[in-house]
């Protein structure tokens, strides 16, 4: 049998705990830094133990932000991020469900052609077509709007593929039974297909929400009006805006608040998250 080495186990635990500590370290430092006064950072290294200013710092960040550098209060940026992430998530799920339904449950001319058009989106991430996409959005008058922030990002080949794959595994008898009972396409979709796919939808929801929340380049390009800043891109503005060293205590409070929502989503929905992650990549 495989040997069970007591010292080996202790060694593995020690290494793992050290490793975990290393992984957690950056966010720990951020949390600590967000509890000190701004002056602390003028006087040498970052402290490693919590300070007393947590409530003040978070209040200032939430309500004022760094107004002198032209960034809006964090509460507004959090709200913008939330709206953008939800719009992207719901939009992606809705259009992918519909198109997967069309591709699996209908036979029509050019079906394969449309499938390839959707497939192409995999090969064209925003990062590689930055300037022309910006021009399109500008021509459509969608700069500085929630529509501009979300709509260009909601086409998703991965979600469509996943739903297509899942629909293929739904037993044929489901449709036959539904047809015998006189259900049309809409009724079948709403009353049979949707309830069956609910776990898949939830798993994708977790992945897509994180994707949407963490958008950086896109909001950076199309928002010039601070009213539409999202929190992840707003941090960069807080770092470079103004003329002095960054106000580290406020920056770190913002970093904590920007990272927290998606982290909580992962921690509370770990099972769905793992399912979504491993299945979208297949």
Partner 1 sequence: MQTKRMTFSHNWLPYLLLAPQIIITVIFFIWPASQALYQSVLRQDAFGFRTEFVWFQNFQRLFEDDLYLNSMQVTLVFSVGTTLLSMSVALLFAVMVNKMIRSRDTYTTFLVWPYAVAPAIAGVLWWFIFNPSIGILPYMLDMVGINWNHRRNSDQAMLLVIIAAAWKQISYNFLFFLAGLQSVPNSLIEAAAIDGAKRFKRFWTIVFPLLSPITFFLLVVNIVYAMFDTFGVIHATTEGGPSQATNILVYKVYRDGFVGMNLGSSAAQSVILMSIVIVLTVIQFRYIERRVNY
Residues 28-47 that bind partner 1 (CB under 8 A): 29-30, 33, 41, 44-46
Residue 146 CB, nearest approach to partner 1 (Å): 15
**DSSP code of 38?**
G
For residue 247 the two structure tokens come to 């106000």
Does the protein bind partner 1 through residue 212 (CB under 8 A)? no
Give the HSE-up count for residue 134: Cα atoms under 13 Å, Cβ half-sphere. 13
Among 59, 179, 187, 190, binds partner 1 (CB under 8 A): 179
Answer for the pair 179, 105: CB distance below 8 angstroms, yes or no: no
Among 10, 12, 63, 194, binds partner 1 (CB under 8 A): 12
Does the protein bind partner 1 through residue 214 (CB under 8 A)? yes
Considering only the stretches 59-67, 71-79, 106-114, 190-198, report the one whose residues sit in contact with partner 1 under the rule CB under 8 A: 106-114
Nearest to partner 1 of 55, 267 (CB atom): 267
Task: Compute the C-alpha angle 141/145/151, nearest 5°.
Answer: 85
Does the protein bind partner 1 through residue 210 (CB under 8 A)? yes
Does the protein bind partner 1 through residue 138 (CB under 8 A)? no
Rounded-to-integer distance, Cα 137 and Cα 80, Å: 19
Residue 223 CB, nearest approach to partner 1 (Å): 14
CA dihedral 132, 134, 139, 140 (to 10 degrees): 120
The residues, any chain, with a CB within 8 Å of residue 77's CB and separated by 6 or more, are 65, 71, 229, 230, 231, 234
Does the protein bind partner 1 through residue 96 (CB under 8 A)? yes
Rounded-to-integer distance, Cα 144 and Cα 150, Å: 11
Does the protein bind partner 1 through residue 135 (CB under 8 A)? yes
Nearest to partner 1 of 52, 127 (CB atom): 127
Nearest to partner 1 of 12, 63 (CB atom): 12
Q: How far apart are the first and last CA of the chain?
A: 35
Does the protein bind partner 1 through residue 202 (CB under 8 A)? no
**DSSP code of 192?**
I
Nearest to partner 1 of 63, 94 (CB atom): 94
Among 10, 63, 98, 147, binds partner 1 (CB under 8 A): 98
Rounded-to-integer distance, Cα 257 and Cα 61, Å: 10
| Binding letters toward partner 1, positions 144-163, x by CB under 8 A | -------xx-xx----x---
Answer for the pair 92, 159: CB distance below 8 angstroms, yes or no: yes
Residue 198 CB, nearest approach to partner 1 (Å): 20
Residues in contact with partner 1, counted by CB under 8 A, come to a total of 104
Considering only the stretches 22-30, 50-58, 69-77, 190-198, report the one whose residues sit in contact with partner 1 under the rule CB under 8 A: 22-30
Neighbours of 279 (CB within 10 A): 17
């Amino acid at each position: 049998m495989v040997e069970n080495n007591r010292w080996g186990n202790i060694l593995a635990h020690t290494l793992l705990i050290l490793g975990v500590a290393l992984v957690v370290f950056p966010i720990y430092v951020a949390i600590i830094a967000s509890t000190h006064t701004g002056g602390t950072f003028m006087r040498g290294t970052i402290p490693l133990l919590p300070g007393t200013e947590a409530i003040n710092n978070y209040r200032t960040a939430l309500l004022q932000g760094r107004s002198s550098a032209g960034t809006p209060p964090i509460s507004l940026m959090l709200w913008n991020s939330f709206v953008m992430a939800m719009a992207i998530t719901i939009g992606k799920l809705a259009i992918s469900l519909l198109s997967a339904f069309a591709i699996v449950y209908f036979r029509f001319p050019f079906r394969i052609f449309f499938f390839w058009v959707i497939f192409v989106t995999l090969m064209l991430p925003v990062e590689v077509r930055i300037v022309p996409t910006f021009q399109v959005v500008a021509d459509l008058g969608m700069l500085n709007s929630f529509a501009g922030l979300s709509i260009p990002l909601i086409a998703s080949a991965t979600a469509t593929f996943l739903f297509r794959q899942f629909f293929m595994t739904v037993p044929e008898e489901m449709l036959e039974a539904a047809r015998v009972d006189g259900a049309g396409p809409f009724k079948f979709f709403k009353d049979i297909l949707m309830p069956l796919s609910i776990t898949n939808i939830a798993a994708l929801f977790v992945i897509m929400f994180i994707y949407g929340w963490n958008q950086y380049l896109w909001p950076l390009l199309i928002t010039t009006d601070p009213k539409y800043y999202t929190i992840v891109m707003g941090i960069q503005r807080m770092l470079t805006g103004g003329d002095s060293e960054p106000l580290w205590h406020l920056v770190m409070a913002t970093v904590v608040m920007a990272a927290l929502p998606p982290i909580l989503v992962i921690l509370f929905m770990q099972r769905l998250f793992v399912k979504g992650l491993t299945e979208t990549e297949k």
